[in-house]
Amino acid sequence: MKLSDEQKQTLIQAALQVRRWAYVPYSNYRVGAALLTESGKIYDGVNVENAAYPATICAERTAVFKAVSEGERHFVAIVVATENGGTPCGSCRQVLAEFGLDIQVIVVDAQGTIHLETTVNELLPGAFTSKQLPPHES
**Ordered DSSP codes for 47-91:** -B--SSGGG-B-HHHHHHHHHHHTT---EEEEEEE-SS-PPPPHH
Average pLDDT over residues 116-136: 94
Is the Cα dihedral 43, 25, 107, 16 positive or negative? positive
- Residues with Cβ within 8 Å of 86's Cβ and at least 6 positions away in sequence, in order, are 29, 31, 80, 107
Let me know if 60 is a catalytic residue: yes
Per-domain residue ranges for the chain? 5-132
The yes/no answer on whether domain 5-132 falls in CATH 3.40.140.10 is yes
Confidence of residue 137 (pLDDT cuts 50, 70, 90): confident
Pick the catalytic residue from 49, 60, 70, 137. Answer: 60
* Contact of 138 with 111, CB cutoff 8 Å: no
Of 24-28, 40-44, 54-58, 134-138, the poorest mean pLDDT is in 134-138
Q: Which amino acid is at 9?
A: Q
Q: CA 27, CA 86: separation in Å to the nearest integer?
A: 14
Query: What pLDDT score does 136 carry?
Result: 78
Q: Is the pLDDT of residue 108 over 90?
A: yes
